Amino acid sequence: MNLCALWLVLIGVVDIRIELRNERLSGQGREVGRDWFATLTERDFDRAYRIAGFILGDAHEAEDATQDALSRAWERRHSLRELDRAQAWFDQILVNACRDRLRKRRPVRLIQLSESDGASGRDPFNAILTTDEALRGLAGLDFNHRAVLVLRFWADLPESAIGERLGIPTGTVKSRLHVALRQIRSAMNAGGPT
């Protein structure tokens, strides 16, 4: 019994030392995250807001999602270890914030483009997505396909980078892109969202 207790103590000491070492490492990460926040520019805010806007199709939702993402990024700034990876790190948080926004408003109301003739004048993202024939099909896409499409063709990210941000393999990105484009084509041929 006492030997077991001593063994537990030894294991515990080792674990705590590892944890404290990790805390010191995360201390370095915290500085990187803080540095990144200090370098944010208008362009970064615009980029995040527009990605969220095109994914959500709603300016107010995009604003909330961007603010959520920035708050989460600040809380998790300890996890950012390299400044070079800050963009991918934040994009991942932003996409997740958009996903959470959509979940909160279940049943999913992507964009009611078919009813949006009057609404397009009110919401700038909605207006864009209803004006262009090639973008009109986004209304019929679910979150996964819409996010892939926006990151690929608006943010100009390569497939590997999209996979990193969404936490999916590159092959899955390609598959989703293919499906998304097929639906876009169907929507174009049909003259509206599928």
Partner 1 sequence: MTDDEELERRVHDAFKSATAPRAPISIRERVSELPTANMRSGPRFHMTWAVLGAILVVLVVAISRSYLPANTGTVPPQSPEPTAQVSTTPLSSLAESQNAPGAVDLLLPGPLTGNGWKVVANGIGLRRKPTDIPGIAGVQVVAGRELAGLHTILRIPDTTIIDPRTQAALVVDLWAGDGPICGQERFDGVDFDQVGSKITVRYSDAALVTPLPSGTLCALDAREASILVAIDLSHIPTSPVTVAVARFGGGGWADVATVAASFPSPSAKP
Residues that bind partner 1 (CB under 8 A): 2, 5-6, 8-9, 12-13, 15-17, 19-20, 23, 26-27, 30, 37, 40, 42, 45-46, 48-50, 53-54, 59, 63, 66-67, 70-71, 74-75, 78, 124-125, 128, 131-135, 149-150, 153-154, 181, 184-185
Q: Please tell me the distance from the alpha carbon of residue 100 to that of residue 66, in angstroms, as a whole number.
A: 12
Structural contact between residues 66 and 52, judged by C-beta atoms closer than 8 angstroms: yes
CB of 171 to partner 1, least distance (A): 17
Distance, C-alpha 84 to centroid of its chain: 18
Compare residues 41 and 106 and give the one whose CB is closer to partner 1: 41
Question: In the complex, what is the shortest distance from the CB of residue 169 to partner 1, in angstroms, rounded to a whole number?
Answer: 20
| Residue type (1 letter), 44 | D
Q: How far is the CB of 5 from partner 1 (least distance, A)?
A: 5
Q: Is the Cβ–Cβ distance between 133 and 67 less than 8 Å?
A: no
Contact yes or no for 159/130 (Cβ under 8 A) = no
